[in-house]
Amino acid sequence: MFTPFECYIRPAMKKQKWLEVLLGLLPLVFGLELLTWVSVLPRMARGGADFRQLYVAGYMARTGAAAKLYDYDYPLQLQNTLVAPAAAGLPFIRPAYQALVFAPLSLLSYRAAYFLWMAMNAALVALSAYLLRRRFREVANRWKPLPFIVLCSFFPLSLAILGGQDSILLLTLIAGALLALERTRGFLAGCLLALGLFKFQIVLPIAFLFMIWKQWKFAKGFFSTGLTLAVISLALTGVPAVKTFFDSIARIRHPVHYEMMSNIHSLLFGLFGNSSIVTPLTLAVSAAVLLGVARWSPVKSGPDALVIAIPAAALVSYYLFGHDWSVLVIPLLFTMDVGMSSWIDGLAALIMFLAPLVCIFDWHHAYWTTIPMLMLLIATARGLDASRRASAYS
């Protein structure tokens, strides 16, 4: 006679086919990523990377022009002058405090700064792997380097590094917050998450869930740090720029390809186009997902609460491009860990791992990867519920 959890882990005695498939496909994954690097890197280094907006924002903060960060025309002029000519500018739609991070890099030429930021991103991947190393023991027991290999070969991380994006910095901050929660340092965890407000579309839903779950130490850390960053941003840009910042978020002045994103909004946009039903339906479905996780999550405190909050936040985010999927590597590795004893969760992890690679061939249907993200959320919830029941029986 087996307890429910023993029944859950009983399949671990058999080989997990999804894992064999993953190991077999890894050479193909590395090959596709290598081709992407070879074909894309030269254009990125010549000024085609998203890094151009961060580089110019850093230059403006360093030279006292931060008040014009959100003006669009002036940053476009600087991007064309300091980086490379382009028909449209990449707007800086982040809180102004983040421009200070890139101010030292703006002392270098764009090309030198781009490669230095690439090296820093690679170091942040290694740091994230170090911070997360103790959480994925079942995967490591199967093959010790496997968690690190999965983390490094998750295609969104390559996209972030090639594009000179800041998504890996957010991944590192969340990994640090996860470790802080493991050590019952909720205030510090909240502070670390708040430092990631440059990706507010991901961070704010996570903070909302922790508020609903009444994690007050976390909330105090988050709001105190967030307020400090708001003051710094206001000091940099001045009051008039605040309205421009919110206007730039609401009315982005370059074409927004929602079909190239992956979240509830992009999926509904891909299905219904510019229909008037998309916005209210997005709000309704996003609210249902967020409140559903808030109400029925198997865990509502500690590090596991952060693990399930990540895919939920990604699904309801304001916008989410391929490089932003980098943070999903945390619930992905967790689900793979659970997948050592549950083939259905392992299959969900495998599909999520491979889904971004499909976008190499067709980015204009990237919104379909929202479905693997939803599968990942469900698998994460299943795994956390199994862990909770196992703790209750032990």
The answer to whether position 34 is within a domain reads yes
Q: What is the sign, positive or negative, of the torsion defined by CA atoms of 366, 148, 318, 46?
A: negative
How many Cα atoms within 13 Å fall on the side-chain side of residue 166? 21
Domain extent, residue 90, equals 15-249+259-393
C-alpha span between 100 and 231 (Å, rounded) = 13
Instruction: Enumerate residue ranges in the chain where pLDDT < 50.
Output: 1-13
The whole-number pLDDT of residue 260 equals 82
**259 within 8 A of 313, measured Cβ to Cβ:** no
Segment 23-44, tens digit of pLDDT: 999 999 999 999 999 999 999 9
The whole-number pLDDT of residue 389 equals 78
The answer to whether position 9 is within a domain reads no
pTM, rounded to two decimals: 0.92
The whole-number pLDDT of residue 7 equals 41
The answer to whether position 163 is within a domain reads yes
Counting the structural domains of the chain, the total is 1
Whole-number Cα distances in Å, 36 to 111, 280, 353: 19, 37, 17
The whole-number pLDDT of residue 245 equals 81
Segment 344-384, tens digit of pLDDT: 999 999 999 999 998 888 888 889 999 999 999 999 999 99
C-alpha span between 24 and 378 (Å, rounded) = 25
The answer to whether position 335 is within a domain reads yes
The whole-number pLDDT of residue 239 equals 87
- Tally the residues of the chain: 394
The whole-number pLDDT of residue 11 equals 43
Nearest C-alpha neighbor of 366 from the set 225, 146, 145, 155: 155
The answer to whether position 304 is within a domain reads yes
The answer to whether position 69 is within a domain reads yes
The whole-number pLDDT of residue 387 equals 81
The whole-number pLDDT of residue 226 equals 97
C-alpha span between 143 and 27 (Å, rounded) = 16
